Chains A and B, each alone.
Chain A
Amino acid sequence: MISKKKIGLIILEFVTALLFVAFIFPFYMVIINSAKTAFEITQYPLSLPERFGNLFTNIVKIWKNEAVRYPASFLASVIITTVSLLLINLFSAQAAWVLARTKTKVSSFIFFIFVAAMVIPFQIVMFPLLSWFRTITNITGIPLLRTYLGIIFSYIGFGAPLSIFLFHGFIKSIPLELEEAALIDGCKKHEIFFKIVFPILKPIQATVLVLNGIWIWNDFLLPLLVLGKGNTIQTIPLAVSNFAGAFVKQWDLILTAILMAMIPIIIFFLFAQKYIVKGMIAGSIK
């Protein structure tokens, strides 16, 4: 007789295996189809490629494609993601620190606004955002559309609410006495932040960097709106979209480009993933 507990365990393992297959399947499809010709992909999408060497041929094709400008797109993605992440991390940590340590109605209200911003869908604000950017550019002369400044500024805005929420929870668990000890040791306010608080936030910084990093690196809609098509500045998702025309979709190049785009963010994720869970727990449980 198999006990009820064992049956439960078998079902659980089966469901886990199914989930694993469901999650790994897109990766499998991207990897095997990156090494195929367009004809092979449409005819035998699930089979293994005839020649894995095709992968390198596809990579070279993408790298050299004049219309797509992959190296420049890669560089733009790196610049936008890195700068956005650094600034989101820095500004959100500072804002969360002040909000967590200032116990007034105003600070509670500002924190509430940040939390509320997390639940507003991007689609609702995207057109007003463009309109505002245009107005600000007209008034100040600072170009926000089709520039690095505009897209990075947008990412800081959209990334800040969740980041502030995460930092806020973590900072509340840091004993205030640490900051008081630093104050007595002779630190000024900015020194307390940069020398004491910011280094202690390392686990939650990793969480913030990974969560925002994956989103910003893969984002298509915001760069499409802010940077636009045919711009000299374009991110990898925009570049990849150039392979998909109205009538022809170059699946071999699209999938290889996706594979090329995936690798850096997967490496980044693997490097920082151990901090994610740690950071999540650290924020809620002291």
Chain B
Amino acid sequence: MATVELRNIYKYYENTDKPAVSNANFIVHDKEFVVLVGPSGCGKSTTLRMIAGLESISKGELLIDNQIVNDIAPKDRNIAMVFQNYALYPHMSVYENMAFGLKIRKLPKDEIDKRVREAARILDIEQYLERKPKALSGGQRQRVAVGRAIVRHPKVFLFDEPLSNLDAKLRVQMRAEIIALHRRLEATMVYVTHDQVEAMTMGDRIVVMKDGFIQQIGSPIELYDHPVNKFVAGFIGSPPMNFIDTAIKVDGKKVLAVCDGFELELAGDIATKVKPFAGKCLTLGIRPEDLHDDTNNDKNSQVVMADVNIIEPLGAETYVHFTAGSAKFMGKFRSSTTAKPGETKRPVRFDLTKLHFFDCSAEGELAL
């Protein structure tokens, strides 16, 4: 297996000044599973396609296994790619689809047969080898696409939103299968998705992208606990983080976050970090799971009275939407919550140790 290194990579398309990918810098270590995640048009697929060699690199260097591959054709990069629409050859059987890349590379017939049958066994598609792709379900096609990649024994596996075309249930199943496959093959994998749940559950590390720029690189928990800006904070986590505009006020020894409708008295590290912003506006961020449906006040939490707007029962848990003054936020509570729509002045406990602060700009670049 191998490493993939992107050094100051830019991608400009013709007739546009704005780069599709700007200054991409990261290393995918050997045997690592890295997920590129972001909304549509953020440049994640373009980055993957540059690694594959399907898009030219406008500026910067791409290294696979410590060798610069900018000008090396896709076929010579020793990579395999699984596409969003599977890209199975419709006129070939499953066996032929999987064997095609090996035949082109003129491997001996018995070696091809051995590799195809081995991959089919791993992916549990042995009984479909003679079928054409149109006679397979979405999940089976997806497996064939993965099988076509496996047989090649490539240095790097690239996945371009391979689960997007599957229904929700199958997606969860295939997600687990790809994770298991990664462990089994101990392969270097780069995976693109717009689904943050996929990113969180699958990746050893996640690269969050927006408008062509890398926003943050880190493990799923790092991104969840310490987002570098408002975008990452809002993108990672489901349901997304609540954002409330607040003014910082210092009253003697107290450091207060004054929101429209309530005040939070900050303590510890957060108070120290926020203090210099006294008199300024910041955006307070708190995850729905850090709001609690009880009044167990302690020094690390504070109860706020809020009105209940909407209840979304999901079975295992319930999302409760609140309003306090002009601030709107959502709590993720147990299904046993007694909150009812229209209820006024219901206590909600804020976990003060889990507060995040960002500057008030739309990007919220400064995170505290």
Contacts and interface: CB of A to CB of B under 8 A. Distances in A.
A184 interface: yes
Interface string B99-112: 01100110000000
A184 B148 CA distance: 11
B85 interface: yes
A202 B73 CA distance: 29
Interface stretch (A36-44, A174-182, A218-226): A174-182
Contact of A185 (B54, B75, B85, B91): B75
B91 A202 contact: yes
Contacts of B73: 183
A126 interface: no
B52 to A, nearest CB: 6
B83 A180 contact: yes
Nearest to A202: B91
B364 interface: no
B232 interface: no
B54 A183 contact: yes
Contact of B87 (A180, A187, A191, A195): A180
Given A184-B74, A185-B75, A196 B89 contact: yes
A175 B105 contact: no
A141 interface: no
Interface in B47-61: 52-54
Interface in A209-249: none
Contacts of B315: none
Contact of A183 (B75, B89, B105, B148): B75
B80 interface: yes
Nearest to B160: A177
Interface residues of B, number: 22
B91 A184 contact: no
B264 to A, nearest CB: 51
B83 A185 contact: no
Interface in A143-198: 175, 177-178, 180-187, 191, 195-196
Contacts of A185: 75, 100-101, 104, 148, 152
A184 B105 CA distance: 11
Interface of chain B: mostly helix, strand, loop or mixed: loop
Contacts of A184: 52-54, 74-75, 79-81, 101
B75 A175 contact: no
B96 to A, nearest CB: 10
Interface string B75-96: 1000111011101011100000
Contact of A186 (B53, B83, B101, B148): B101
Contacts of A180: 52, 54, 74, 81, 83, 87
B309 to A, nearest CB: 43
Nearest to A104: B14
A50 B120 CA distance: 69
Counting contact residues on chain A (CB < 8 A from B), the size range is: 10 to 19
Contacts of B80: 184
Interface string B217-238: 0000000000000000000000
A199 B81 contact: no
Contacts of B101: 184-186
A200 interface: yes
Given A186-B101, A187-B104, A175 B85 contact: yes
Nearest to B77: A184
Nearest to B73: A183
B87 A178 contact: yes
Contacts of B81: 180-181, 184
A181 B87 contact: yes
A178 B84 CA distance: 11
Contacts of A175: 85, 87
A186 B104 contact: yes
Interface of B: 52-54, 73-75, 79-81, 83-85, 87, 89-91, 100-101, 104-105, 148, 152
26 contacts: A175-B85, A177-B84, A178-B87, A178-B89, A180-B52, A180-B54, A180-B83, A181-B83, A181-B87, A181-B89, A181-B148, A182-B89, A182-B100, A183-B75, A184-B54, A184-B80, A184-B81, A185-B104, A186-B104, A186-B105, A187-B104, A191-B104, A195-B100, A196-B89, A200-B90, A202-B91
Given A184-B52, A196-B89, A199-B91, 6 more contacts: A180-B54, A182-B100, A184-B53, A185-B101, A185-B104, A187-B75
Those 9 A-B pairs whose CB atoms lie nearest each other, nearest first: A185-B101, A177-B87, A181-B87, A186-B104, A186-B75, A199-B91, A177-B83, A184-B74, A178-B87
